[in-house]
Amino acid sequence: MRLQDNAGLYHALKENKSVVPVFIFDTTLLDKLEDKADRRVEFIHQSLTLIQKQLIELGSSLLVFHGNPIEIFKSLQPKAVYTNHDYEPYALSRDEQVKNILTKNGVESKTFKDHVIFEKEEVTKDDGKPYTVFTPYSRKWKAKLNAFYLKSYPTKKYFSSFKKTKSLPLPSLQQLGFEEINKPFPERTIKQSIVEQYDKKRNFPAIAGTTKLSVHLRFGTVSIRKLAQVAEKKNETWLNELIWRDFYHMILWHFPKVETQAFKPAYDQIKWRNNEQEFTMWCEGKTGYPIVDAGMRELNETGFMHNRVRMIVASFLTKHLLIDWRWGEAYFAKKLLDFDLAANNGGWQWAAGSGCDAAPYFRVFNPALQTEKFDAELKYIKHWVPELGTKEYQKPIVDHKLARERVLKVYKEALG
pLDDT at 336: 97
- C-alpha closest to that of 54 among 153, 155, 186, 152: 155
Confidence of residue 175 (pLDDT cuts 50, 70, 90): very high
The third-level CATH classification (topology) of the domain covering 122-159+188-254 is: 1.25.40
Looking at residues 345-373, what average pLDDT do you find? Answer: 92
CA 267/CA 4 separation, integer angstroms: 43
Q: Which of 16, 68, 84, 307 is catalytic?
A: 307
The third-level CATH classification (topology) of the domain covering 1-115 is: Rossmann fold (3.40.50)
pLDDT at 180: 93
pLDDT at 359: 73
Which own/partner pairs from 253-258 qualify as long-range (CB within 8 Å, at least 24 positions apart)? Answer: 253/87, 253/119, 253/120, 254/120, 254/130, 255/130, 255/356, 256/89, 258/345, 258/346, 258/349, 258/355
Query: Is 350 tagged catalytic?
Result: no
pLDDT at 181: 92
Looking at residues 93-118, what average pLDDT do you find? Answer: 96
At position 352, the amino acid (one-letter code) is A
In whole numbers, what is the pLDDT of the chain averaged over residues? Answer: 96
Position 24 pLDDT exceeds 90: yes
Q: Which of 238, 327, 348, 350 is catalytic?
A: 348
- C-alpha closest to that of 177 among 26, 303, 23, 331: 26
CA 82/CA 80 separation, integer angstroms: 7
Query: Is 241 tagged catalytic?
Result: yes
Four-way CATH pick for 256-415: 1.10.579.10, 1.10.3720.10, 3.40.630.10, 3.40.50.970:
1.10.579.10
Q: Which of 238, 325, 350, 384 is catalytic?
A: 325
pLDDT at 361: 81
Looking at residues 316-337, what average pLDDT do you find? Answer: 98
Q: Is the dihedral of CA 148, 151, 156, 161 positive or negative?
A: positive
* Tens digit of each residue's pLDDT (9 = 90 or more) over 176-218: 999 999 899 999 999 999 999 999 999 999 999 999 999 999 9
* Tens digit of each residue's pLDDT (9 = 90 or more) over 111-155: 999 999 999 999 999 999 999 999 999 999 999 999 999 999 999
Looking at residues 8-30, what average pLDDT do you find? Answer: 97
At residue 121's C-alpha, the angle toward residues 119 and 126, to 5°, is 130
Which own/partner pairs from 382-387 qualify as long-range (CB within 8 Å, at least 24 positions apart)? Answer: 383/206, 383/294, 384/285, 384/293, 384/294, 384/295, 384/297, 384/298, 384/301, 385/285, 385/290, 385/293, 385/294, 385/297
Position 84 pLDDT exceeds 90: yes
Looking at residues 16-35, what average pLDDT do you find? Answer: 96
Query: Is 348 tagged catalytic?
Result: yes
CA 51/CA 45 separation, integer angstroms: 10
pLDDT at 416: 81
pLDDT at 357: 82
Segment holding 112, helix H or strand E: strand 108-112
Q: Which of 244, 282, 350, 384 is catalytic?
A: 244
Contact 121, 129 (CB under 8 A): no
Query: Is 325 tagged catalytic?
Result: yes
* Alpha carbon 164 to chain centroid, angstroms: 35
The domain ranges of the chain are 1-115, 122-159+188-254, 256-415
CA 379/CA 63 separation, integer angstroms: 47
Q: Which of 241, 275, 300, 366 is catalytic?
A: 241
* Tens digit of each residue's pLDDT (9 = 90 or more) over 387-416: 999 999 999 999 999 999 999 999 999 998
* Tens digit of each residue's pLDDT (9 = 90 or more) over 208-250: 999 999 999 999 999 999 999 999 999 999 999 999 999 999 9
Confidence of residue 358 (pLDDT cuts 50, 70, 90): confident
* Tens digit of each residue's pLDDT (9 = 90 or more) over 270-304: 999 999 999 999 999 999 999 999 999 999 999 99
pLDDT at 223: 97
Confidence of residue 338 (pLDDT cuts 50, 70, 90): very high
Q: Which of 15, 16, 259, 272 is catalytic?
A: 272
